[in-house]
Structure 1
Amino acid sequence: MQVMQGGRPTLLGVRAPRVEDDRLLTGRGRYVADVVLPGMVEAAFVRSDLPHALVRGVDKTAALASPGVHAVFDGADLDLDAVPDRMPWVRAVQHFPLARDRVRYVGCPLAVVVADDRYLAEDAAELVDADLQPLSTVDTVDDALAPDAEMLYPGWGDNLLLSVEPDDPEVDAAFERLRTVSGTFTTNRHSAVPLEGRGVVAEFRDDRLTVWTSTQAAYVVRAMLATVLGMRERDIRVITPDVGGGFGQKNEIYPEEYLVPWLAMRLRRPVRWIEDQHEHLIAATHARDTSIDLSAAVREDGTIAALRGRVRTDLGSGEIFPAGYGPSLVAVGSLCGPYRIPHQAIAVQGVVTNKTPTGGYRGFGAPEGTFAIERLVDKIGRELDIDPLELRRRMILAPQDLPYETAAGARLVSGTHREAFERAVELGERMLAEERDAAEPGTHLGVGYATYVEGVASTTFSITGTWSSQDSADIRFDSDGGVTVAVGISAMGQGTHTMVATLVAESLSIPIEQVRVVMGDTDTAPFGLGSWASRGTLVAGGAIERASEVLRCKGTDIAAHLLEASPDDLELTEGRFQVRGSPGSAVSWTQVAQSALNRTFELPPGVEPGLEARAVYEPPGLDHVPRPDGKMNAAASYTNATHTAVVHVDAGTGVVEVVRYAVVHDCGRVINPLTVAGQIHGGVAQGIGGTLYEQLPYEDGQPLATTFAEYLLPSAREIPEMLVEEWGGPAPETPFGAKGAGEAGIIGPPAAIAGAIENALAPLGVTGIDTTPLTPPVVRRLIEEARS
């Protein structure tokens, strides 16, 4: 299916069904749990039930004698290197796949049992007796920073994994002469909980290791395995089968991903481990858990001259790669949003505590930063008696302001910041009016807004100390005119196969049905950094565009020779090279491929046989480390959006229902509107969950939500129908004019919903909502405090 654009057919912007869905919806997907190999055994982990303790010994005798058990190992048995600490600007953690001398969180792996099946392995794991000497628990950030705090890493002298203290005289000067408005804005700890948990299968055969793992970055896993296992990368093959959701949580490299391959090599037989839900909630990385102290130096008209503050994140034990401080840096970069705020100086503290390590989760700090600045803008409006929407209009970027560099260093080249905002306000006012017309008198209804910019296709060097931002594509014709494209990004349910096939078909002017997509296998896909930071369309698109240009040039030369015409006289349309003005004088890609691959004697002089191309694309203009002024343009491009939420609040119970929701979004050229809408719908659903329901509380280092009986997720009943409008057009700074849309949906809900609740409860005097999740007890307490 094609549409016409500029007088020619195009696949871009067509609401076409995803090419991968038929296989997945009919049960033909293959996930890690579906990998079954001859002679395979299963692993189960023994995990610490203490949050902080010295490991004095592990007694494996009873477990080894248990039926069906092949081996039991603890940390002292492993001949593995520590996971490398490659970031010189943060403190070294030096953690191992199994704890050796100390455990620092409940769920930390202490030992592993391998048996004929998972049931026998679990039975034997209960027989492993770990001798742990309890230590004082560091339960909160305040505990960790106290002068007499127990040190998680005694050699550090404190509990700060990362500490950044900026100094900007311009900011100091603004705060000396202007009014100050301040607040503290907290986003509590929750989890990504993808439908498919983690899993690893490994086999060592013919001196080569093959690993199937549910990851977002196969090549990064391969490199880390080579380092920790002491192998050459070429002797390791990493395969990412179908992934049932990643959301950034599967962009971390976990202890099990090192240990299961080690077991396969040690036992000389395939080993599998599949995570259960309890393990997932205590051992897979958590997210958010960030408090932002933010102050604004405010002019008389309410506009912000400078921001000053601190982003403080509870990183848990910090024993994960990449380390979990990355979202804190993104939060700093998100604080100016789409506003003209000329200066900021924001400190960052990454604090270790006796909790599960935090890591990446969809939005990666942007929801936290957006929540802080949007709530602060509302507070400024309230204190200065300025309509908060009018205050935003005074600061928001207009088309004539672009290109614009934010106070954090982000270079905004394109976007519809003001237009998207005004349209979202129009929708919000209409939706609220419609709900009020249908509601009973006295119903507490309110509307809230959140506007932001989102960096896409960012550098990864600042959190890995190794990799930057490039990705690759191989495109190869077969002699029948079919095309195989291999890319370095990966799929996890976001429609990547459809996007890649569409861009290749568009670039080569062939039907999408002729394109086969390969990814997620280090033996068959070119080097790439995987899928995260909404980067797939931009970086894969850039590589596809470059490789396709090579093939079009070669195809044109071959076709011109076959047609006895000049290459300058040919045009490529609907899979045929034809002489301009003479549609009957044409050859197809199939004929060109036959000449290039089979009938090579038909090739023009100097043209080599074959019809394939590889290209690498690295986004230009990225800063991989901060500039001398401390600023950093860490992303290749920036999307923008404004979210509108309409809520109903039951003042008696504190229950909040999101009844209407709209997103006005600009991600440049939309490749497939159905895919983009799906991404935004899913992100908003997760954002609603994190804003109203999901939390991972701790008490004395013990997690209190370890099953779905305690960890509350929204169901379809809690997610309203959504209106999504795409604004803008092709972005001049990106391949195909496309940006990214993977995280846009999750960034706006915390600020928009909090603002809507505050608006709904304004008659009761509720103001200053500054924390999530806004569960019924929290909302009731806000009402009671306002009444008192």
Structure 2
Amino acid sequence: MQSARPSLLGARVPRVEDDRLVAGRGRFLADVVLPGMVEAAFVRSELPHALVRGVDTSAALESDGVHVAISGPELGIGPVPDLVQWVRPVRHFPLARDRVRYVGCPLAVVVADDRYLAEDAAELVDVDLEPLPAVDDVDAALAPDAPLLYPEWGDNRLLSMAPENPAVDEAFRRFPTISGTYTIDRCTAAPMEPRGVVAEYRDDRLTVWTSTQAAHLVRTMLADVLGMAERDIRVITPDVGGGFGQKNTIYPEEYLVPWLAMRLRRPVRWVEDRHEHLLTSCHARDMRIELSAAVRDDGTIAALRGRIRTDLGSGETFPGGFGPSVVAVGSLCGPYRIPHQCVAVEGVVTNKTPLGGYRGYGMPEGTFAIERLVDKIGRERGIDPLELRRRMILAPDDLPYETAAGARIDSGSHREAFERAVELGEQLLAEERQRTPDAHLGVGYATYVEGVAASAFAVTGIRSGQDSADLRFDPDGGVTVAVGISAMGQGSHTMVATLVAEELGLPIDQVRVVMGDTDTAPFGLGSFASRSAVVAGGAIAQAAEVLRRKGTEIAAHLLEASPDDLELADGGFQVRGSPGSSVPWSQVARVALTRTFELPPGTDPGLDARASYEPPGMDHAPRPDGKMNASANYTNSTHAAVVEVDPGTGVVRVRRYAVVHDCGHIINPLTVAGQIHGGVAQGIGGVLHEQLPYEDGQPLATTFVDYVLPTACEIPDITTEELCSPAPEIPFGIKGAGEAGIIGPPAAIARAVEHALEPLGVADVDTTPLTPSAVRRLIEGARS
């Protein structure tokens, strides 16, 4: 239906959620206070690998203010289900029973009147652990005599996939090869707000407040582990101070705190401190990619072959931490015409904190590997790496295009974005050289595609690709929209309100958004994989179409006009070409809800609609040929980074940064820019500063003294430019943008450092983070 008002899509609409948050009126998990609430504290293993001989809680039980102290064998709940059939079962419990496999593993929980009493009593719990040899890296875990974390497996491989591809074998017989090994070390999301859970059991119903990205899936897993019906559980997500995929995992505390509330018949709260967070909230990356290319005479790649090995930590997490490895395989070809690939995957368990999701979810790792390999091919063949990319990058005439992994790319501006980013990069480098001509400056680029709104069924056994929306008019013409996605600071309320207002011709301030509550929002899979705008937008479009049709019929009846002659105006309907003949939504809603005797004959009362939407064309499991189109669509982007390196200290400073990005039709430029800026900042942290080292299974970075986050001083001004290639099969033509910013920095900054240090003989930077000591080792290695 046509609309007489300008479109809201692409307008710089201020975020509707910000006034409340910046004024301090947000309600985060730690702000949830209930009458009679008690606090929980956990006893955690100080050993990385040990047999549990006993956990004595008697002294803690006698401590002042303690209500319960309990260990694993005393819990009357089952294990977390292993839902993915193609990986080995872990069968982990919320509290360890017979073995601990990482420092920080929960052994017991104490509940007391306040957190201080609970912490004091937890120190009285007597834990008897028999130490076992620990392995804290993949090579040690795969050694023939390695201690086994799960003896029943016979080795330390949680999964092992070794596909075959005759076309790849043929290409490697025909063409010479160039190879490299690329590593991104272990880091963590470190959101501003750590995790937390509050639970209350009242009137035979369990209510759980938890800082999560997926309220409905927490409810599903709670019902399974606690042995309850889902209808008897309500999960509420308060304001979330950052998730970044780390809060897409369901943790032991999310099962234990509700169980304790049911046992005690009073509210229980647990809020993680930063030390616990760095020990126990899932880690990320820790991936090594061994990659070889069969290279034609012109330098282009005929086929890729390789192996991805990921250190999964203990593996005791849901969803399993192997998902990013599979996504990395799918992202290796990037935006390039590489016809064949065959990449094995090994997920290896070690005595570290379990691996999980973090923004980018395997795509920064895959992009780092292929971009560094392309640079190496150019160097060894004497071809300008930028020219080599031009020979392979997708052009408009190539679309639609299916990658070697099976991704179906139907739109994009791959070549245009690349050329513009190169233009910006050269300009920024020239400006910096003019300012500091004697500095060691370099520029690097990274170009990639990002799969958005992915099905996660293959790596979770439970998440597919759909989501839902409920739209309901009130008699005054306002609309309440409830959606199954979650908010965690990314502007979801503004996005949803904008799309509803756009579809119904309403002012944004007449739209109220509800999400993050399983009692009031329709079933949804949550917010991850840059999916929120795509899936919520699709459901909103379908539900709004139902309301528009019904509203048009009612308005036409009131105006004594044909429905075909009406168009949406600002706030209602009008006869096309006659603005004076109009009916506002408020009048239509009153007729539908209160003055039902004025409805057209045969029209039912009410003005509400529910819709579920799943993007077309997604695969939820590999096809017979092993390929898989796991995402609804694919954005594209090219990053340019200009860095300065101090050879004496090894300090790398990112001086300038530019991103040319295409996420289809933009809903709100402010939101997209914010997503890209935040992602780049996190990417800079990961490539230059953040690292979680271990020694003999002991974590060495357990506070922000040791785990170094970038500050505003380390983040440069970021130039962003948006291109627009609408998604042809997605409502509104939109694509996701949540993870794009973090994918490019590892490859772009590594190349820029390499470029800056080429006069000193440094080449082939293949590992991050590039801390000062790592950079000095590169320089010393080149000199020797």
TM over 0.5: yes
CA distance in 2, matches of 1:146, 1:653: 37
1:564 aligns with 2:560: yes
Q: Does 1:452 align with 2:448?
A: yes
Task: Please identify, of 723-732 and 397-406, the stretch whose mean Cα deviation from structure 2 is larger.
Answer: 723-732
Q: Within the alignment, does 1:174 sit opposite 2:171 as a pair?
A: yes
Q: What is the match of residue 709 of structure 2? A: 713
Task: Choose which of 505, 508, 513 in structure 1 pairs with 2:504.
Answer: 508
CA distance in 2, matches of 1:558, 1:730: 33
Report which stretch shifted further, 168-177 or 460-469: 460-469
State yes or no: 1:768 paired with 2:764: yes
Gaps of 5+ in 1: none
Give the deviation of 1:165 after TM superposition: 0.4
Q: Confirm whether residue 742 of structure 1 aligns to residue 725 of structure 2.
A: no
Q: Report deviation, 1:566.
A: 1.2
Amino acid at match of 2:576: R
In the alignment, which residue of structure 2 is the partner of 1:191?
188
Q: Is the 2:655–2:716 Cα contact (8 Å) retained in structure 1?
A: yes
Q: Does 1:533 align with 2:557?
A: no
Question: How much does 1:606 deviate?
Answer: 1.2
Alpha-carbon distance in structure 2 between the residues aligned to 1:722 and 1:746: 13
Secondary structure in structure 2 of the residue aligned to 1:188: strand
**SS in structure 1 opposite 2:579?**
strand
Q: Does 1:342 align with 2:324?
A: no
Distance 1:202 1:263 in 2: 8
Which residue, out of 669, 673, 676, partners 1:677?
673
Q: Is the 8 A contact 2:678 2:741 kept in 1?
A: yes
Deviations 1:315-363 (A, max 9, x none): 0000000000000001000100000000000000000000000000000
SS of equivalent to 1:777: helix
In structure 2, distance between residues paired with 1:8 and 1:309: 54
Equivalence map 1:485-496=2 (5 Å):
485-496=481-492
**Shift of residue 731, structure 1, vs aligned partner:** 2.0
1:762 partner amino acid: E
Partner in structure 1 of residue 696 of structure 2: 700
Q: 1:497 maps to which residue? A: 493
Mapped contact 2:66–2:110 kept (Cα < 8 A): yes
1:301 to 284, 288, 298: 298
Higher mean C-alpha displacement, 11-20 vs 197-206: 11-20
- Post-superposition offset of 1:181: 0.3
Moved over 4 A (4+): 5-8
Counterpart of 1:424? 421
Partner-residue secondary structure (3-state), 1:294: strand
Q: In the alignment, what sits opposite 1:689?
A: 685
SS of match in other structure, 1:446:
strand
1:234 matched residue in structure 2:
231
Task: Give 1:730 shift.
Answer: 2.5
Can you list the C-alpha shifts for 1:348-392, whole angstroms capped at 9, x where unaligned? 000000000000000000000000000000000000000000000
1: CA distance between counterparts of 2:740 and 2:4? 32
Q: Which whole-Å CA distance do the structure 2 matches of 1:467 and 1:728 have between them?
A: 29
Instruction: Measure how far apart 1:6 and its partner are.
Output: 9.9
Q: TM-score, with normalisation over the residues of structure 1?
A: 0.99
Task: Calculate the TM-score normalised by the size of structure 2.
Answer: 0.99
Corresponding residue of 1:651: 647
Give the % identical residues. Answer: 78
Q: Deviations over 1:212-271 (max 9, x none)?
A: 000000000000000000000000000000000000000000000000000000011000
Q: Which residue of the other structure, out of 706, 726, 744, is the alignment partner of 2:722?
A: 726
Q: What is the aligned counterpart of 2:479 among 476, 483, 486?
A: 483
Aligned-pair distance for 1:583? 1.7
Q: Which residue of 2 aligns with 1:92?
A: 89
Among 628, 644, 650, the alignment partner of 1:632 is: 628
Q: Per-residue deviation at 1:733? A: 2.1
Residues in 1 aligned to 2:35 and 2:430: alpha-carbon distance in whole angstroms: 64
Pair 1:58-2:58 in alignment: no
Distance across 2 between alignment mates of 1:581 and 1:377: 58
1:577 to 573, 577, 584: 573
Partner of 2:276: 279
Distance 1:343 1:95 in 2: 38
Say if 2:496 and 2:536, in contact at 8 Å, map to a contact too: yes
**Cα shift readout 1:638-681 (whole Å, capped 9, x = no counterpart):** 00000000000001110000000000000001100000000000
The structure 2 residue matched to 1:266, chosen from 263, 282, 290, is 263
Cα separation, partners in 2 of 1:450 and 1:52, compared to 1, 3 Å? same
**Contact 2:3–2:568 (CA under 8 A) maintained in structure 1:** no
Note the alpha carbon deviations across 1:449-483, whole angstroms, 9 max, x for none. 00000000000101211221110000000010100
Distance 1:485 1:642 in 2: 36
Which residue of the other structure, out of 72, 75, 78, is the alignment partner of 1:75?
A: 72
* Residue pair 2:4, 2:569 contacting (<8 A) in 1 also: no
SS in structure 2 of the partner of residue 713 of structure 1: coil
Rounded to whole Å, the distance in 2 between the matches of 1:284 and 1:249 is 7
CA distance in 1 between counterparts of 2:303 and 2:675 reads 34
Q: Which deviations, in whole Å up to 9, do the C-alpha atoms of 1:684-727 show, x marking residues without a partner?
A: 00000000000000000000000001000000000000000001
Give the letter aligned to residue 433 of structure 2. Answer: R
Task: Tell me the amino acid that sits aligned with residue 659 of structure 1.
Answer: R
Partner of 1:130: 127
> What corresponds to 2:38 in structure 1?
41
Question: Residue 8 of structure 1: CA displacement?
Answer: 4.2
Distance 1:459 1:761 in 2: 42
What SS does the aligned partner of 1:418 have? helix
Equivalent position amino acid for 1:130 in 2: V
How many Å apart are 1:576 and its aligned residue? 2.2
Once structures 1 and 2 are overlaid, which stretch shifts more, 43-52 or 569-578?
A: 569-578
Helix, strand or coil at the partner of 2:741: helix
1: CA distance between counterparts of 2:766 and 2:22?
41
Q: Aligned-pair distance for 1:7?
A: 7.5
Aligned twin of 1:102: 99
Answer yes or no: is the 8 Å Cα contact 2:3–2:505 preserved in 1: no
Alpha-carbon shift at residue 575 of structure 1 (Å) = 1.8
Q: Which secondary structure does the structure 1 equivalent of 2:674 belong to? A: helix
Amino acid at match of 1:481: G
Partners of 1:424 and 1:580 in 2: CA distance? 45
Tell me which amino acid in the other structure corresponds to 2:593: L
Kept after mapping to 1: 8 A contact 2:5/2:570? no
Matched residue SS, 1:498: helix
Moved more, 531-540 or 585-594: 585-594
Deviations 1:519-550 (A, max 9, x none): 00000000000000000000000000000000
- Give the counterpart letter for 2:595 in structure 1: R
Residue range with higher mean Cα deviation, 184-193 or 730-739: 730-739
Correspondence for 2:589: 593
Hey, what's the Cα distance between the residues in 2 that align with 1:66 and 1:79?
24
RMSD: 0.8
Q: What letter corresponds to residue 386 of structure 1 in structure 2? A: I
Q: How many residues align?
A: 783
1:326 aligns with 2:323: yes
Deviation at 1:563, TM superposition (A): 1.1
CA distance in 2, matches of 1:206, 1:729: 53
Secondary structure, counterpart of 1:16 in structure 2: coil
CA distance in structure 2 between the partners assigned to 1:568 and 1:8 by the alignment: 18
Counterpart for residue 24 of structure 2: 27
Counterpart Cα distance in 2 of 1:538 and 1:764: 47
Quote the Cα distance in structure 2 between the aligned partners of 1:7 and 1:601.
29
Find the aligned partners of 1:344 and 1:752 in 2 and give their Cα distance: 23
Q: Structure 2: how far apart are the matches of 1:645 and 1:36?
A: 46
| Partner amino acid, structure 1, of 2:503 | S
> Does the residue aligned with 2:707 lie in a helix, a strand or coil?
coil
